Amino acid sequence: MIVQSRAASRNRAVQVAAPLKLEDIAGSQWVRQATNIAELDRVLGGGLVPGGVVLVGGDPGIGKSTLLMQLAGELAQRRVSVLYVSGEESQQQVKLRADRLKVTEGPIFIAAETELDAIQSQLDELKPQVVIIDSIQTIYSTSLTSAPGTVGQIRESASRLIRYAKDTGTMLFLVGHVTKDGSIGPYCWATSG
């Protein structure tokens, strides 16, 4: 059953799925897929779930990109397609990390991109099973006038990427950098509500 929200009817026609009773939701198709990285599997509750979204936060240089490249390599060995979107490094820099980690083959695609519509086009074309955005603070939408890294840009970018993940069953990893005060930038406000 599809219902139309009041807010949507004021702005534009958006269809919203009606809530389902817990007992009516089929769950057996949602099997966790192990990453073969024991500690990551433990943190993820046993592995990856289709449509899942994970925020990987930490100080710059702590190893977020390295961990996610290791994950991409493990998944690619099982022919799971990965799109690794780097907003901070060139494709050559990402390749150097992959070479150092001995991640050399499989369906891993590297994009050095920060514009949200361009990323969406790549998602639509490649239809990857896993997407890594490194980092969410670098992504921006041309529909907003604010600079990348601002609350509005992070909210819009994260919201659209999360919606894509949920709609397609794609596993999404968002990298977020920790600020001097110990929070993950303005991202903590980006997906509330």
CATH assignment at residue 124 = 3.40.50.300
Q: Quick one: DSSP state of residue 16? A: E
Residue 150 resides in a domain: yes
Query: What pLDDT, on the 0 to 100 scale, is given for residue 27?
Result: 66
Instruction: Give the whole-angstrom CA distance, residue 106 versus residue 85.
Output: 16
At 187, is the pLDDT very low, low, confident or very high (cuts 50, 70, 90)? very low
For the stretch 157-170, what's the b/e string if a residue is b when 16 or more beta carbons lie within 10 angstroms of its beta carbon? bbebbbebbeebeb
* pLDDT at position 183: 62
Is residue 68 a part of any domain in this protein?
Answer: yes
Tell me whether residue 8 is in a domain.
no
Using CA atoms, how far apart are residues 61 and 57, in angstroms rounded to an integer? 11
Assign 29 a pLDDT band (cuts: 50, 70, 90). low
Whether 19 shows a pLDDT value over 80: the answer reads: yes
Question: Who contacts 3 (Cβ-Cβ below 8 Å, separation ≥6)?
Answer: 15, 16, 17, 18
SS3 content of the chain, % helix, strand, coil (to 5): 40, 20, 40
Q: In the beta sheet, which residues pair with residue 58?
A: 177
Residue 10 within any structural domain of the chain:
no
Quick one: average pLDDT of 106-134? 97
Type of residue found at 184: I
Q: Strands 2-4, 15-17: parallel, antiparallel or unpaired by DSSP?
A: antiparallel
Query: Per the domain annotation, does 143 fall within a domain?
Result: yes
Tell me if 15 is assigned to some domain: no
For residue range 133-180, what is the model confidence (pLDDT) as tens digits? 999 999 999 999 999 989 999 999 999 999 999 999 999 999 998 766
Domain count, the chain: 1
Q: Determine, yes or no, domain membership for 1.
A: no
Residue 122 lies inside a defined structural domain of this protein: yes
Predicted confidence (pLDDT) at residue 9 exceeds the cutoff of 50? no
- pLDDT at residue 5, rounded to an integer: 47
The predicted structure's pLDDT at residue 22: 87
Mean pLDDT of 47-51: 93
Burial tier of 133 (Cβ tally within 10 Å: 0-12, 13-18, 19+): buried
Whether the predicted pLDDT of 186 surpasses 70: no
Q: Are 76 and 107 spatial neighbours (Cβ–Cβ below 8 Å)?
A: yes
Determine the structural domain holding residue 88 and report its residue range: 27-190
